[in-house]
Structure 1
Amino acid sequence: MAEGLTSTSSGLHAPLPRPYGRVYRSRGRTVIELQGEVDIASAKPIGAHLDVVTAVRGHHVVIDLTHVAFFDCSGLALLCRARRRTAENGGRMWVVCDSPGILRVFRAGAVLDVFRTLPTLDDALAAEDW
């Protein structure tokens, strides 16, 4: 699905509200492509959507930060929650990020080793480990 996901018997969900990004399925994984700023102002709508995505049992999730211009500790908290919920439900989560600024936030939050960050979406979709 190119633009978003709709409710189905497999437990998928509504599209991520604009202007925060888009959601689609690729190679058996749900890709959440975030855009713009991920900060305290966007945390609530993005977080509500991530909660729905990560509640699905055995779900494999890729969070793509390639199009994010600003990312702060609120965004980091969202990703930590999404990772925990995904793992609790037997799924896996990968993060696509090659931005030195965003990776600096990961290092400052002491979670760079907790997340599997990969530089490209293709890398994340092909990843088997983690």
Structure 2
Amino acid sequence: MGQEAAPLTRHLRVHQDGGHTVLEFRGEIDIAAAAEIGPHLDALTGHPGCRIVIDLRRVEFFDCSGLRLLHRARHRVHVHGGRLALVCAHPLTLRILRITGLSRLLPPHPTLEAALGRPGAASGSH
């Protein structure tokens, strides 16, 4: 079972769950939040074979700054031979991911359990 999330910034909490590092984005992910999250994201995605889950369930607003964070995380994890999964169920954020094509590169899961690949995890409902 996962541990309680430790706040790194007011927009980011991180915890371990089943061998994965879960980055929980929170609140409004705009240019200011991205500046806070970026250094932590880089530190966490810069390890060989890292297994990262980015959880957007607690995000209230998500703009192009958030998209850049996701794209950067995906690139860094893949360069280091790791694995990245995304959790998102918010209709507007899902629409942004779909319109920009990022959902093809980083398919969103509706739940953390599905992103972690837990048996019996719901794959299509929230």
TM-score (norm 2): 0.87
4+ aligned runs moved over 2 Å, structure 1: 1-4
State which of 35, 55, 68 in structure 2 corresponds to 1:64.
Answer: 55
Identity among equivalent positions (%) equals 46
Summarize the alignment of residues 27-38 of structure 1 with structure 2, pairs less than 5 Å apart.
27-38=18-29
* 1:47 shift after superposition: 1.0
State which of 10, 16, 19 in structure 1 corresponds to 2:8.
Answer: 16
More strand by proportion, 1 or 2? 2
Q: Where in structure 2 are there 5+ consecutive unaligned residues?
A: 119-126
State which of 6, 17, 20 in structure 2 corresponds to 1:26.
Answer: 17
* In the alignment, structure 1 residue 3 sits paired with structure 2 residue 5: yes
Query: Which residue does the alignment assign to 1:110?
Result: 101
Number of aligned residues:
117
TM-score (norm 1): 0.84
State which of 21, 25, 34 in structure 2 corresponds to 1:43.
Answer: 34
Q: Where in structure 1 are there 5+ consecutive unaligned residues?
A: 5-14
* 1:97 shift after superposition: 0.2
Please tell me the root mean square deviation across aligned C-alpha atoms, in Å.
1.5
* 1:112 shift after superposition: 1.5
